[in-house]
Amino acid sequence: MAVEPVHRTGLVVGIAVIAALGGLLFGYDTGIIGVALLGLGRQFALDDTAKQLVTGAIIFGALFGCLGTGPVSDRFGRRRTVIGVGIVFAIGSILSAIAPSVGFLIASRFLLGLSAGSSTQIIPVYIAEVAPPAHRGKLVVLFQFMVVFGITVAYFTGFALGEHWRWMFGLGVVPAIVLLAGMFFLPESPRWLLVKGREREALDVLETVRGSDKQARAELAEIRTVADNQPQGRWRDLAQPWIRPAVIVGAAIAMFSQITGNNALIYYAPTILTKAGFSEETAVLATGGSTILVVIMTVIGSVLVDRIGRRRYLLWMIPGSIVALILMGILFQNGGPATPVGRVLVVVCLAAYLMLNCGGFGVCIWLINAEVYPLFVRGKGASLGAFSHWIFDLAVTLSTLSLVTWLGATHTFWLYAVISFGALVFVYYLVPETYGKSLEQIEHELRDHRFYPFQQRRAPVRERQHA
């Protein structure tokens, strides 16, 4: 029988909040471009292709950042890697603010992308490895909360600064400094310490964050059941048949979070709305107001994933986002809404879509990606999931404005609706429920071929606790 956790909630929450500031940086730097493009487009006379390149630079950098971070965090530790992320964020923000040309700005945004991609890999893993199982969901979701909060801050900061896009980029250095200062006082992941043979240090960290020697020793023993006699994982280990289901789920959830269109609208909603007849101020405020609802939904979702589970939460949220996309497609027929009522309905549907899609996939993507992989390849597995997120984010970023031009806004929204339905089917049949399970229990289910929902339904009832 497992020992009931007696953790120090305040301390663990503090650790998660400080680490999750990397998500605020990620959200701010990806969100601010949606407003900055309006001024940048005029100053540098950017066409749609150039706008997509400036926007996509950060995503292209993220592809390299997320893949490189897994091996780095496995070798040097989760905490040091997060500190490195903060340093690169600060440098990239300063360089973006002083960019004298479009080429320099693209290079600076690429550097920011290295840190953004790294943050999506390392921060959820770090929080998941420190947090107790009963509260792991809401604590890892703090990262996504910070992402959407950063996007909201970006939109309203951009609205306040108007044409001053250099200040928009430069202000990103502030949360980077706060992250760096905080991380110097946080502990290393106890799971990483144990893998490195530093058992005494791992026990000290667990005693600190759990507040109980008995609970710390019990958790250390459970971690040891999957850490003993395992060499550090290699990339090719992700292809092992028993690990493959985790790879499929982690990579596919990340993929669907992008190709269903949420970042496309976060990046380009002001541009799409202005082309449909909205003023620039109204377009920015409408998108910014929608992100406030995403923040609220993320808070609600952070509670629900630890009450009803990750899988059921997604199954509740995705259908509503499909309806919102279909209605937006109808409203954008014939070039966009021509009446004030039609414009209000567009804003309502946009807000509903972002709230349900970002508040659904956004809440679960980094959480599931940090939970499903075995300990010895968790860093590399999380890197692969983050890579899937960024490669499809890049594809969406480089195609959205072109799709709107070629297909029209109506058919673009309907295309995203069809893809969202495919995501719903995938979640129903293949995404397992990780709620209420320790990371070690999830790994045992992988090894026992009881990972997918259909495998769990047909498997005999058996003891799942391995404490």
Does this model's pTM top 0.75? My answer is no
What's the CATH number where 309 sits? 1.20.1250.20
Could you read off the pLDDT of 167-192 as tens digits, one per residue?
A: 998 998 988 898 898 888 889 999 89
Could you read off the pLDDT of 340-366 as tens digits, one per residue?
A: 888 888 888 888 998 899 889 988 988
- Alpha helix segments (H runs only) across 184-309: 190-195, 199-210, 213-227, 244-259, 262-275, 280-304
Residue 426: which residues within 8 A CB-CB, separation 6 or more? 252, 256
Residue 246, in any domain of the structure:
yes
- Over 90: is that where the pLDDT of 250 sits? yes
Residue 106, in any domain of the structure:
yes
- Report CA-CA distances (Å) from 98 to 31, 84, 245, 393: 19, 22, 45, 26
Domain assignment of residue 119, given as a range: 9-458
**Are the CB atoms for 193 and 180 separated by under 8 Å?**
no
Most confident of 121-125, 246-250, 297-301, 352-356: 246-250
Could you read off the pLDDT of 76-113 as tens digits, one per residue?
A: 999 999 999 999 999 999 999 998 888 898 999 999 98
**Are the CB atoms for 161 and 172 separated by under 8 Å?**
no
Residue 192, in any domain of the structure:
yes
Confidence band (pLDDT; 50, 70, 90) for 460?
Answer: low
Residue 2, in any domain of the structure:
no
Residue 345, in any domain of the structure:
yes
**What is the Cα–Cα distance from 351 to 353, expressed in whole angstroms?**
5
- What is the maximum span of the chain, computed from C-alpha positions, in angstroms? 68
Report how many domains make up the chain. 1
> In the predicted model, what is the mean pLDDT of the chain?
84
Residue 31, in any domain of the structure:
yes
Residue 228, in any domain of the structure:
yes
Residue 3, in any domain of the structure:
no
- Over 80: is that where the pLDDT of 62 sits? yes
